[in-house]
Structure 1
Amino acid sequence: MFGDLTSAEKLYVEPYIDAAFTRKAPGDKFSALINPATYTCKYEFEYDDTQAGGKSSVQLKFNKIKPQKFTFDFLFDSTGVVKNASVLNISVANPFAKPVSVAEQIEDFKKKIIEFKGTTHRPYYLKIHWGTLLFKGVLNQIDIEYKVFTTDGTPIRAVAKCSFTESIEDDLREALENKQSPDITHERIFTGAERIDRMTGQIYARDTCYIAVASFNELDGFRKITPGTKLYFPPLEK
């Protein structure tokens, strides 16, 4: 369930106030006590399977791609087994200090990630960072399982099973969905029957960028291009 207890690079979550992820929420990020050994990314596609009467089968028609789902577990521990961290002050590890209680750790987690913000009338938007992983979305479900207890019933270990849903800001989503948008890099194979100025005009809605495109592709010129050459048309600077 969980990975290396002593890994220097911890998975962490940064809360944001806005959907464009430009305004960080006040306070510190939340760092995992222990990195997970696994996490799950779920991609789901929706098709229309409406079937006409009298038909034995149906041709599925693509409808949409649903937002990506991302799930993994957070560990909260006050048994004293985990010596390298307190989630309330991840940078300080005092082997003689009393472990922060599980209840306090969960409250810190809720404050930094789950807490409903009165000014925006919604929970935070979240960025999850770990190595090459960068996930932007919202927390849509959390199940906390209490696993180990003291003799008086106080929990000293718990696991929060979290499910996140991808959230993409509208401007980026529209650019990604619009395959002709000049805000994303295009790739074309030059056939020899085309002209780079016309190709540039089709992508950027003006043909005056062809010299810059030729330079970007490190072409010797723009009049004689070898058929089969792969050309890249970069995003326009705004």
Structure 2
Amino acid sequence: MSKQPLTITQLVPNSDPPTPDTGKRFKVQINPAEFTHSREIRYNKRRTQGQNRNRMRFSAVEPDSISFSLVLDGTGAVGGEGPVVEVVTQLEQLCRIVYNYDSSAHEPNHVQVAWGTLIFNGRLQSFSTQYTLFKPSGAPLRAHCEMSFMGFASNSQANLEANRSSPDLSHSVLVVDGDTLPLLCLRIYGDARYYPEVAAFNGLREFRRLPAGLRLHFPPLS
């Protein structure tokens, strides 16, 4: 069975769902020995006066991230198709896919990292290169690249995954002790300044003190 190399492919700008541009792809010579896939959930840790313990209310799901190390080899010792490619040239090819600024989109490229069961859409977060072997002239013969990518979701994917957490959808919230309207707006919309609109929508005259058990409705953002 032939080896399947890890590939990093540039995505077609503004494509929804994300569409790989197969003409702009980097295939690694040596697959990573390991990679890390990180997930993070953020909670609201703010305490109210007199509260003994923090209830750790859910705030948001952070984007996934992955990280791995690549080896770029220009010695010819690593088997592969075609002639030996200089390490500097390989780095330029890789940077064109993951790092270089897209002047038309005014941002770095979105890419897809694919290897085995991993299909990850994201953008480069960090990229460091350590050179470990050199020609007598000083030109690098081998490099280790540490890379990390932050995930993203297209609009269609986000709408499916976010469900009730999306500011494009209506929310129904049962008030508990310690809740304030600005705090609820911050939790749902990501911005506390929407509280006057929410107060008007719910017919509230007093928003500073919300009685526990009150049912509030948070409309979609206009």
CA contact (8 A) 1:72 1:161 kept: yes
Letter in 2 for 1:112: I
Letter in 2 for 1:34: I
Where structure 2 has 5 or more consecutive residues not aligned to the other structure, the ranges are 165-222
For residue 10 of structure 1, what is the aligned residue in structure 2?
5
SS across alignment from 1:58: coil
TM-score, normalization: structure 2?
A: 0.66
Q: What CA RMSD, in Å, does the superposition of the two structures yield over aligned residues? A: 2.5
Q: Is 1:103 equivalent to 2:88 in the alignment? A: yes
Letter in 2 for 1:60: M
Which protein is richer in strand relative to its size? 2
Letter in 2 for 1:27: G
TM-score, normalization: structure 1?
A: 0.62
Q: Is 1:49 equivalent to 2:34 in the alignment? A: no
In the TM superposition, what whole-angstrom CA distance separates every residue of 1:128-157 from its partner, at most 9, and x where no partner exists?
Answer: 111211111111211111122233322211
Q: How does 1:132-171 map to 2 (within 5 A)?
A: 132-171=117-156
Identical aligned pairs, as a percentage?
25
CA contact (8 A) 2:9 2:22 kept: no
For residue 25 of structure 2, what is the aligned residue in structure 1?
29
For residue 188 of structure 1, what is the aligned residue in structure 2?
none
For residue 76 of structure 1, what is the aligned residue in structure 2?
72
SS across alignment from 1:29: strand
CA contact (8 A) 2:97 2:111 kept: no
CA contact (8 A) 1:30 1:113 kept: no
Instruction: Provide the rounded CA distance (Å) in 1 between the counterparts of 2:144 and 2:54.
Output: 44
Larger Rg: 1
For residue 38 of structure 1, what is the aligned residue in structure 2?
34
Instruction: Provide the rounded CA distance (Å) in 2 between the counterparts of 1:48 and 1:22.
Output: 32
SS across alignment from 2:24: coil
Instruction: Provide the rounded CA distance (Å) in 2 between the counterparts of 1:143 and 1:101.
Output: 18
CA contact (8 A) 1:19 1:125 kept: no
CA contact (8 A) 2:20 2:112 kept: no
Q: Is 1:172 equivalent to 2:167 in the alignment? A: no
Structure 1 pair 26/12, CA: closer, same or farther in 2 (3 Å)? closer
Instruction: Provide the rounded CA distance (Å) in 1 between the counterparts of 2:146 and 2:136.
Output: 25
Q: CA deviation at 1:176?
A: 2.0
Where structure 1 has 5 or more consecutive residues not aligned to the other structure, the ranges are 1-5, 85-91, 180-238
Structure 1 pair 62/22, CA: closer, same or farther in 2 (3 Å)? closer
Number of aligned residue pairs: 165
Q: CA deviation at 1:35?
A: 0.8
Letter in 1 for 2:106: H
For residue 210 of structure 1, what is the aligned residue in structure 2?
none
Structure 1 pair 150/119, CA: closer, same or farther in 2 (3 Å)? same
Instruction: Provide the rounded CA distance (Å) in 2 between the counterparts of 1:41 and 1:25.
Output: 24
Letter in 2 for 1:72: F
Q: Is 1:66 equivalent to 2:51 in the alignment? A: no
In the TM superposition, what whole-angstrom CA distance separates every residue of 1:66-93 from its partner, at most 9, and x where no partner exists?
Answer: 0001111221111222122xxxxxxx33
Q: Is 1:125 equivalent to 2:110 in the alignment? A: yes
Instruction: Provide the rounded CA distance (Å) in 1 between the counterparts of 2:2 and 2:71.
Output: 15
